[in-house]
Amino acid sequence: MIQKKTFIHPTSIVEKGAIVHEGTHIGPFCYIGSQVEIGSGTELKSHIVINGITKIGKNNIIYQFCSIGEVNQDLKYKGECTRVEIGDSNLIRESVSIHRGTEQGEGATCVGNHNLLMFNTHVAHDCLIGHHCILANSTTLGGHVEIHDHAVIGGLSAVHQFCKVGSYAMLAGCSAVVKHIPPFILAQGNHASLVGPNTVGLKRHFSEAKYKAILKAYQLLYKQGKSLEDAKLELAKLAELYPVVILLLNFLNQIDLNSDKNRGIVR
């Protein structure tokens, strides 16, 4: 179904069954598969392949040579009906690849709203990207990676499968992540290790009172020699006074230390 007031360049192919909403712009030499839905106001520049069960929201801009919704690179995948879901107002730059999920994961690879995925970023199967994230040039995410809201991943960095990067965390360029990076943290290196709190980002997003509360939480987790479980007890008390700390506490509570997929946290 192609609604009115939609531009499709004559060199592009939109398969029967695809849903293209009003105000969508599809530039030259694009291929849109039969199970794809593209929201209103989304623009495809040129030479873009969108395939599989893929739903793209409103007002996204997708640049040339992107591949979205194609078969993933997990050898266990045998053609199951998995999908890609992309929200609204994302900027997806040249040569980005976003692969469909697997049944072993959640069945979907999901990208939220207002994200910037720079040139040559790869989002593997079953990844979950939140809102307002920045993935710089040539970022590589392994399968089942989670990038939480407002996180920033530096260019040429790689995140190991099943790792999580917390909200408002920042990973410096050319880093390799093999452990979870908690919220509010700046990490760097191969393998990525703690640098300190993400001071610049935190001051940009939070009031002075919230910023100071986050620094207290950082001290509890990293500077007082506490075990992770003891630190979580103290963070719970701090979160009662400063709700912003709940972001960090919830992140730590999500980590199953007994799971064979547990990576541990950067400490």
Q: What is the DSSP letter of 89?
A: S
**Quick one: tokens of 61?**
């801009």
- Which position among 99, 125, 160, 180 bears the catalytic label? 125
Maximum alpha-carbon separation in the chain: 64
| Residue 125 falls in the annotated catalytic set | yes
Contact 123, 147 (CB under 8 A): no
Q: Cα(217)–Cα(113) distance, rounded to whole angstroms?
A: 28
- Which position among 101, 105, 143, 166 bears the catalytic label? 143
| Residue 166 falls in the annotated catalytic set | no
Strands 158-159 and 140-141: parallel
C-alpha pair distances (Å), 59 with each of 19, 87, 195, 202: 15, 9, 36, 28
**Quick one: tokens of 158?**
């790689």
Tell me the three state secondary structure of residue 211: helix
Q: Which residues make beta-bridge pairs with 165?
A: 147, 181
Contact 156, 220 (CB under 8 A): no
| Residue 126 falls in the annotated catalytic set | yes
**Quick one: tokens of 185?**
């943290």
Q: Cα(205)–Cα(170) distance, rounded to whole angstroms?
A: 13
- The single residue listed with the structure tokens 């191969």 is 190
Of 116, 138, 119, 137, nearest in space to 129 by CA: 116
Of 187, 192, 251, 189, nearest in space to 217 by CA: 251
- Which position among 33, 126, 150, 154 bears the catalytic label? 126
Any idea which residues carry the catalytic annotation?
125-126, 143
